[in-house]
Amino acid sequence: MIGRAVTAGMMAVGAGLVLPAATGAGETPQQPAPIILNLMNRPIESRERAFSEEIKRDALAPRPSPLDDWEPQADGSMRNKKTGISLRVMNPCPPGDMDHEYALAAYNRAKSRR
């Protein structure tokens, strides 16, 4: 019984040494080139090309809408970022007032006709 175990163990060790060598696992893999060499092999971009690409990027960028120039204030007014002008729009008719209701109904009718 012990003889069989020793024989099986020796066969397993032998197979562990012989099979990887046969498949080529013992060879050392090739190392990639260092990063500094990869950076040095890149072509240098010319000044004119970089400048023209930057000009194109700025020209093709979408322009901000005029609404982006206005920022809401805490008191409900709006302030223009470029000019500094503040604007407050107030509704003189409180909701529930008959004049207000008639004006709103007329506005909704006109809007639905379009």
Q: Tens of pLDDT along 34-78?
A: 677 676 677 777 888 888 888 888 888 787 777 778 888 888 788
Is the confidence at residue 106, as pLDDT, over 80? yes
| Per-residue burial over 48-62, b = 16 or more CB atoms within 10 Å of its CB, e = otherwise | eeeeeeeeeeeeeee
CB count within 10 Å of CB 69 equals: 13
Give residue limits of the domains in the chain: 36-113
Write out pLDDT tens, residues 12-42: 666 666 565 555 555 666 777 667 767 667 7
* pLDDT at residue 66, rounded to an integer: 77
